[in-house]
Amino acid sequence: MQVYLKKHGTEFPLHRIQASWSKVDRKVTIEFQIQKRTGPEWNSDELFTNDWSKNWGLWNKDVFEAFLQLRKDEADIKAPYLEIQVSPLNQPFALVIQEPRKTYFPPKELDFKTEITELSTKIFAGKMEVLLPNELQGELLFGGFFSCLNQAPREYYALEPNPENSPDFHRPELFLSLEEHV
C-alpha cells in the first residue's frame, strides 16, 4: 500500500512524501521518497554515526521516521512501540517507547537495516527493514510514518497528524492499522 504524508499546520508544504510498506511475520519493510519542491539543502550532520544506538537527537535534522506497534487488539494503545528513523546520510536511530515521553530505551537486540536509494538536491529516498524486537508483543501491526524537515522553519509531516497546533508524533491513539493495507 502506498500513502502520502500530510503536513502539520496550514502553510504550503515544501515537500511531497510517499511511503509504502510490507510485513512478513515480524519483518517490516518500509520504502519512502521525499521530494523537495523548493528550499535549502538537506539538513544533516556528519557527526551522527551508522550505529542506531548512538544517534540521540537525529530527529533535529532531516529524517524519515516510522513508529511500529504490535497490539493484542485494536484498543491496545498502551502497548510499547518501536521508533525508527533514517537521515539523508543513511544514519539510523531506534528506540522502544514504553510510555510516550516518560519511559523509553534502546532495544536489547535489533535487526535494523537502512539504505538510501536516491539522494539529490530534490530527492531523498530510502528503505528501512526491521525485525520487530521482542519488546513488542501482539499480532496486529499499527503505526505511523513521519518526517521532520528543514532547519527554520521546521516542517513536520505525518500519516495522521494530530489536531493541536504543535506537532506530536507520540500519539498511539492516532496510529493507523498497517495490517489491512498489507
Is residue 82 in some structural domain? Answer: yes
Is residue 166 in some structural domain? Answer: yes
Local confidence band at 180 (pLDDT 50, 70, 90 cut-offs): low
Q: What is the pTM of this model?
A: 0.95
Task: Give the structural domain span for 137.
Answer: 2-177
Q: How far from 38 is each of 15, 33, 35, 125, CA to CA, in Å? A: 8, 15, 9, 16
| CATH number, domain containing residue 97 | 2.60.40.1190
Count: domains in the chain = 1
Is residue 33 in some structural domain? Answer: yes
Is residue 145 in some structural domain? Answer: yes
Q: Cell 500519516 appears where?
A: 159
Local confidence band at 182 (pLDDT 50, 70, 90 cut-offs): very low
Indicate the average pLDDT of the chain. 95
Is residue 182 in some structural domain? Answer: no
Full DSSP string of 38-103: S-SS----TTS-S-GGG-TTGGGSSEEEEEEEEESSTT-TTS-EEEEEE-TT--EEEEEEEETTTE
Helix (H) or strand (E) holding 146: strand 140-149
Chain segment 92-141, per-residue pLDDT in tens:
999 999 999 999 999 999 999 999 999 999 999 999 999 999 999 999 99
